Structure 1
Amino acid sequence: MALGQRLELKQGQGLVITPQLQQAIKLLQLSNLELEAVVEAELEKNPLLQREDPEPVAETGQDSERETFETDGRELELGDGDSLRAGSDLDASNSDLYGDEAPTVREPDSAASSADMSDGPMVDWSKAGKGGGSFDGDEDMERALTREKTLQEHLTDQALIAGFSAPEMAIAQVLIDGVDEGGYLRADLSEISDRLGCDPALIEAVLATCHGFEPTGVMARSVPECLKLQLIERNRFDPAMEALIDNLELLARRDLSALRKVCGVDDEDLSDMIRELKALTPRPGAAFGSEPSQTVVPDVFVRQDATGGWRVDLNTDTLPRVLVDQKYHAQVVGGARSSEEKSYLSECLNQANWLIKSLDQRARTILKVSSEIVRQQDAFLVYGVEHLRPLNLKTVADAVGMHESTISRVTSNKYVSTPRGVFELKFFFTSSIQSNDGSEAHSAESVRHKIKNLIDGEKSSGEILSDDRIVEILKEAGVDIARRTVAKYREALRIPSSVERKRQLK
């Protein structure tokens, strides 16, 4: 067989993911807050981009222009409010579906004594402006004067008056840095000993002193140690209570008979000990200020309109508005002297136009997908979670004419505000559980809700339902479900087994 070389030409089709297409895909899966950060970065590096300041409608006195286009046989309306209306298709009677206030900063009194001023947080006075009348960091100073003291700052203040030597103070500071927001010491003492090059006994001694800090139980290394420190302060840490602390797993299982044997007490004493234990604080550091939790900002609003349908609107307050400064572009292009400068300006113009096009396409895609999800889950909006329908990415993708991966990106990190609350878009995608009577399949989320309602009703009925009994009740209601699936859903809801619930009932 002879070997040789030859040149061949083949023609084929392929998708090349350009940098612009990669940017569009990236923007699609970002939340509005993340999108704002990306747009800010583009505004900094692209001189042709500028932020658009929306003009109030009352000042312009002009009606907003609206644009209509056809999507899958449905006419959607888009305008300045980026809203979508499909009232007839989303009507509740559709047979296809049923078949912060800012803190007040008080200025310090000029007659305040130096002793009163020393009680507040430390301020770097080196940043004070000349003349004593202004500061470079006024906002930082006001924030320091009005915010709550953190747990680390509270512990550091106590360490400063604990009588530590210089080496002990350094150790105490390292230990305080290892305390989490609940007040527990998560640092490894042996690792600290190796890092600081000191005797482990010295670290234990410093930690023993820190265990006397307020709040009681702080800097404990475990829940039993935290409870022990609080009991010692109350002078209630006796051998029986020590045995109870060492066997908290029996208390969690409500195995009171085993606890009585371990503690060597009768029923009355054990009840008193458990009552004292419940009065303790398992998270002593939770009362102190921490980083404020971020409020979920919905990307889409769903409201019921006058015709009984549903109106889907984008949250335009969080959407960045940018445009190309054509006047500045014409000015700098006319003054360009070299081909490199013209090439740079041309690249900036293309990137700016592509960014605006990507932002517009992102908004339209989110509206189309959100509208289809609302149409599919209209029964949930009207009647509640028990009427949540099984839904997957392929169903929505086929309805809006997109790929499943696009639907996945659109629903990632996006939240929708509905009359029933704020939900992540992925909440509406649930697996299906077949019915045993040939009717429509049930949503896994609705089945979990039914299981929770059955168990919540045990206290009124006095009957503890086993997993097998729950299976029988659900099958009578038309839900074909296995016992292991009931157990999996119950554990996901953090509901104990029937044996543990019986102990709790007793």
Structure 2
Amino acid sequence: MALTPRLELKHSQTLVMTPQLQQAIKLLQYTNLELTDYISQEIEKNPLLEIGDSGGNSDAGPGQERDGGLVDMAAPDIAPPSDGTHAASDVKIREGGTDGDSIDTDFDNVYNNDSPADLASGLSGLSLSGGSIRGSGGGDGDLDFEQNLTQAESLRDHLESQLAHLHLTPAAEMISRFLVDMVDESGYLREDIGGVAERLDCSLADVEAVLVQLQGFEPSGVFARSLQECLAIQLRDLDRFDPAMEMLVQNLELLARRDLVALRRICGVDQEDLTDMVTELQALNPKPGLAYSSEMTMPVVPDVFVRRGPKGSWIIDLNGDTLPRVLVNTSYHTEIFSRTSNKEEKAFISDCYNSANWLVKALDQRAKTILKVATEIVRQQEGFFLQGVRHLRPMNLRMIADAISMHESTVSRVTANKYLATDRGIFEMKYFFTSAIQSSGEGEAHASESVKQRIKELIDAESPASILSDDRIVEILIKERIDIARRTVAKYRDALKIPSSVQRRRQKAAV
């Protein structure tokens, strides 16, 4: 059979994403604060966009006939589904919006629910009473207006200011400034001093001599090369680094394992003295440099408020305090459009007007979508809002998507980095999506978070004379109709940062 070129016509359906559709999808993922930044950038580029009062419902003034963003508008009560899948109370929502066609942002995408695990560091969790060892630096305090105007002193600046009080030779000063540059934000010297000596072409003894002087700087414990050395420096400053304390500092791994019998033998002290020594360790700061950290901690700002209304209904509001009210200045558009005759200028003005109207519609659609998803979450998890985490139900993205006729990817985007403020605290929307643990009987499945809470309750209630092993916890849960394996109990216990039964027995026996 001869091979010859030919032309063929084929019909196929593909999803073509316009730039506006792509931007509308991004708007769904933005938090309220991120959305505010985006709108500010759009206002700089578009002369027809303006900002009104945040969350306000006042009438638009002259030249502000079309508005968007957050507009208080009471929506009718949303009745629970008729299929009886969940008997939640009535839910009232208040949403932002403007009249106009909705923008469809519901399309397929891969959902990634991974999140970085919190890692313990330093001396966290080494106390005999189960608490973490606390640092003495960086205490809390109210910041006044003057402090907000003044830039906080960095650790490097603080260390360099102390160098001026040392009478160093030029060579020693060069070494000291080099070591100051090598100190990390926690106050530790991570650079090998042998390598420092080689790079500066000086003797190791010279570097060690300068390091001894620098380790006397404030805050106490800086320029340490390990956790043990950091604690030893602070104990020496307090004149408490006796032989027993030295052995305790050198065997912190035994303290982490709560092996108190071995510690008493190594340190040569009784239980009372060991308890006092550990209490002294708790007063030290394992990361002294963080007292001068300039890193700002951003508070969590809720995107949606959920509160109990009259007659048992739920009222759901967008956080209007963080949502700007976007206005389109139609009068200004009419004025400048009528005054120009240049085609390029008219095209630019038309593009600005269309872009502004699109942004208003997109913000309206975003508000409605977020409130729609939040409302369904409240319906599905009403037991949690009424009675706590023990009544959290298993729920996944598909359950919400099917209930509100959206795609799972849209629900995923809406719930990403969004927070609900409730009477029980502030929770990330994704917190309510939890896997299921099957029931050992004919009852409903249990949410993994509620099972974790039950494990925590059992361990918190155990007595020192009757420590619960993982196998014993499994037996108790099976009696409560929770079908769970021992390895799952161990995994949940580790996730809750609860020690094993052996470690808890040692810990509680020492109290």
Structure 1 counterpart of 2:21: 21
CA separation of 1:26/1:268 partners in 2, compared to 1, >3 Å: closer, same or farther? closer
Once residues 339 and 257 of structure 1 are traced to their aligned partners in structure 2, the CA distance between those partners, rounded to angstroms, is 88
463, 466, 471: which is aligned to 1:468? 471
Say which is worse superposed, 363-372 or 166-175, in terms of deviation.
166-175
Contact 1:302 1:311 (8 Å CA) reproduced = yes
Once residues 190 and 330 of structure 1 are traced to their aligned partners in structure 2, the CA distance between those partners, rounded to angstroms, is 74
Task: Say yes or no: does 1:103 pair with 2:109.
Answer: no
Structure 1 counterpart of 2:432: 428
Contact 1:490 1:496 (8 Å CA) reproduced = yes
Task: Say yes or no: does 1:277 pair with 2:318.
Answer: no
Once residues 408 and 56 of structure 1 are traced to their aligned partners in structure 2, the CA distance between those partners, rounded to angstroms, is 29
Q: Which amino acid aligns with 1:241?
A: M
What is the SS of the residue equivalent to 2:167?
Answer: coil
Task: Say yes or no: does 1:39 pair with 2:43.
Answer: no
Residue 317 of structure 1, CA deviation: 1.4
Q: How does the TM-score come out when normalised to structure 2?
A: 0.79
Structure 1 counterpart of 2:122: none
After TM superposition, the structure 1 = structure 2 runs for residues 81-480 of structure 1, keeping only pairs within 5 Å, are 81=72, 84=75, 86=77, 88-89=79-80, 96=87, 103-105=144-146, 143-144=149-150, 149-165=153-169, 168-169=172-173, 171-186=175-190, 202-265=206-269, 270-288=274-292, 290-459=294-463, 462-480=465-483
Once residues 361 and 55 of structure 1 are traced to their aligned partners in structure 2, the CA distance between those partners, rounded to angstroms, is 16
What is the SS of the residue equivalent to 2:6?
Answer: coil
What is the SS of the residue equivalent to 1:494?
Answer: coil
Contact 1:300 1:416 (8 Å CA) reproduced = yes
1:219-269 deviation line (CA, Å, top 9, x unaligned):
322210111112222344344433322211011112123224434555565
1:53-104 deviation line (CA, Å, top 9, x unaligned):
46966899xxxxxxxxxxxxxxxxx9822555536539xx996359x98725
Contact 1:464 1:501 (8 Å CA) reproduced = yes
What is the SS of the residue equivalent to 2:161?
Answer: helix
Task: Say yes or no: does 1:485 pair with 2:488.
Answer: yes
CA separation of 1:244/1:369 partners in 2, compared to 1, >3 Å: closer, same or farther? same
Structure 2 counterpart of 1:67: none
Say which is worse superposed, 281-290 or 187-196, in terms of deviation.
187-196
CA separation of 1:309/1:191 partners in 2, compared to 1, >3 Å: closer, same or farther? farther
Once residues 315 and 13 of structure 1 are traced to their aligned partners in structure 2, the CA distance between those partners, rounded to angstroms, is 40
Structure 2 counterpart of 1:109: none
Once residues 340 and 177 of structure 1 are traced to their aligned partners in structure 2, the CA distance between those partners, rounded to angstroms, is 56
1:26-56 deviation line (CA, Å, top 9, x unaligned):
1110111111111111111222222224696
Once residues 166 and 333 of structure 1 are traced to their aligned partners in structure 2, the CA distance between those partners, rounded to angstroms, is 71
Once residues 188 and 35 of structure 1 are traced to their aligned partners in structure 2, the CA distance between those partners, rounded to angstroms, is 46
Say which is worse superposed, 78-87 or 346-355, in terms of deviation.
78-87
Once residues 304 and 85 of structure 1 are traced to their aligned partners in structure 2, the CA distance between those partners, rounded to angstroms, is 16
Once residues 406 and 189 of structure 1 are traced to their aligned partners in structure 2, the CA distance between those partners, rounded to angstroms, is 54
Q: Which amino acid aligns with 1:342?
A: K
CA separation of 1:407/1:195 partners in 2, compared to 1, >3 Å: closer, same or farther? farther
Contact 1:172 1:206 (8 Å CA) reproduced = yes
Aligned residues: 448
CA separation of 1:198/1:26 partners in 2, compared to 1, >3 Å: closer, same or farther? farther
Contact 2:186 2:289 (8 Å CA) reproduced = yes
Contact 1:82 1:316 (8 Å CA) reproduced = no
Residue 340 of structure 1, CA deviation: 2.8
CA separation of 1:502/1:177 partners in 2, compared to 1, >3 Å: closer, same or farther? same
Contact 2:70 2:325 (8 Å CA) reproduced = no
What is the SS of the residue equivalent to 1:96?
Answer: coil
1:408-460 deviation line (CA, Å, top 9, x unaligned):
1100010111111111101111001011111111110000000001000114x
Once residues 153 and 360 of structure 1 are traced to their aligned partners in structure 2, the CA distance between those partners, rounded to angstroms, is 49
What is the SS of the residue equivalent to 2:315?
Answer: strand
Once residues 300 and 458 of structure 1 are traced to their aligned partners in structure 2, the CA distance between those partners, rounded to angstroms, is 38
Once residues 359 and 172 of structure 2 are traced to their aligned partners in structure 1, the CA distance between those partners, rounded to angstroms, is 57
Once residues 429 and 199 of structure 2 are traced to their aligned partners in structure 1, the CA distance between those partners, rounded to angstroms, is 47
Q: Which amino acid aligns with 1:210?
A: L
Once residues 284 and 182 of structure 2 are traced to their aligned partners in structure 1, the CA distance between those partners, rounded to angstroms, is 23
Say which is worse superposed, 278-287 or 350-359, in terms of deviation.
278-287
CA separation of 1:282/1:199 partners in 2, compared to 1, >3 Å: closer, same or farther? same
Contact 2:86 2:380 (8 Å CA) reproduced = no
What is the SS of the residue equivalent to 2:320?
Answer: coil
Once residues 457 and 203 of structure 1 are traced to their aligned partners in structure 2, the CA distance between those partners, rounded to angstroms, is 54
Once residues 445 and 88 of structure 2 are traced to their aligned partners in structure 1, the CA distance between those partners, rounded to angstroms, is 13
Once residues 478 and 167 of structure 1 are traced to their aligned partners in structure 2, the CA distance between those partners, rounded to angstroms, is 73
Task: Say yes or no: does 1:30 pair with 2:33.
Answer: no
Once residues 54 and 475 of structure 2 are traced to their aligned partners in structure 1, the CA distance between those partners, rounded to angstroms, is 59
What is the SS of the residue equivalent to 2:360?
Answer: helix
Contact 2:48 2:356 (8 Å CA) reproduced = yes
Once residues 55 and 444 of structure 1 are traced to their aligned partners in structure 2, the CA distance between those partners, rounded to angstroms, is 37
Contact 2:55 2:321 (8 Å CA) reproduced = no
Contact 2:189 2:223 (8 Å CA) reproduced = yes
Greater relative contact order (Cα 8 A, min sep 6): structure 1 or 2? Answer: 2
Once residues 423 and 270 of structure 2 are traced to their aligned partners in structure 1, the CA distance between those partners, rounded to angstroms, is 53
Q: Percent identity?
A: 54
Q: Which amino acid aligns with 1:379?
A: G
Contact 2:57 2:71 (8 Å CA) reproduced = no
Once residues 242 and 102 of structure 1 are traced to their aligned partners in structure 2, the CA distance between those partners, rounded to angstroms, is 39
- Alpha carbon RMSD of aligned pairs, Å? 3.1
Residue 287 of structure 1, CA deviation: 4.3
Once residues 243 and 10 of structure 2 are traced to their aligned partners in structure 1, the CA distance between those partners, rounded to angstroms, is 86
What is the SS of the residue equivalent to 1:224?
Answer: helix
Residue 184 of structure 1, CA deviation: 3.0
Contact 1:81 1:314 (8 Å CA) reproduced = no
